[in-house]
Amino acid sequence: MSKPSKEVLEGLQKAYCMEVETVVNYLGNALHLEGVRADHIKQSLLSDIQGELGHAQRLGNRIKQLGGSIYGSLSLKFEQKMLQPPSDPTDVVAVIKGVIAAEEDAIAHYERLIELARQHNDYVTENLAVEILEEEETHRQQFQGYLKEYSK
């Protein structure tokens, strides 16, 4: 790869923002939820924060390797409407659905990033996106299982 692609850098920066936003929303939901049924979901969200932070760190490192800039809080663009803590702190199903929606958005973005990286022969970014994609798909599957159980 010669010069980093502007599109690949923008895709990495968006993924970085998405991961940071997920951390904020997982923490918010974990702290907001209450009730007996919420405990397992709260614990799952809290444990997943480290994974999401790891994704952001790996993406940030790749952005820097390509000569890009890492966004600070004033430049981050947040969009996860479905993952906002619900008004009812016992609405566990709303949180589960929000996590699934966020994971589906992340999966779609990583699939696009993989294609962009391939088009620009950026094999390192492609590999990074594939690895994170697998983790996002696993997380989505986990929460789809929770939804089946909590929707009964």
Predicted local distance difference test score (pLDDT) of residue 1: 44
8 A C-beta contact, residue 65 and residue 105? no
Total number of domains in the chain = 1
Enter the pTM of the model: 0.94
Amino acid at the residue 78: F
**Mean pLDDT, residues 48-69 taken together:** 96
Rounded to 5°, the CA angle 109-126-48 comes to 55
> Which domain range does residue 39 map to?
6-150
Distances, alpha carbon 7 to alpha carbons 36, 105, 133, in Å: 46, 18, 18
pLDDT per residue over 94-142, tens digit each?
A: 999 999 999 999 999 999 999 999 999 999 999 999 999 999 999 999 9
Amino acid at the residue 43: Q
47, 45, 41, 43: which is closest to 26 by C-alpha? Answer: 45
Residue 1 lies in a domain: no
Residue 63 lies in a domain: yes
Question: What is the DSSP secondary structure assignment for residue 4, as one 8-state letter?
Answer: P
Predicted local distance difference test score (pLDDT) of residue 2: 53
CATH code where residue 26 lies: 1.20.1260.10
Predicted local distance difference test score (pLDDT) of residue 67: 94
Dihedral class, residue 67 (left if φ above 0, else alpha if ψ from -120 to 50, else beta): left
In angstroms, rounded to a whole number, what is the distance separating the alpha carbons of residues 78 and 62? 21
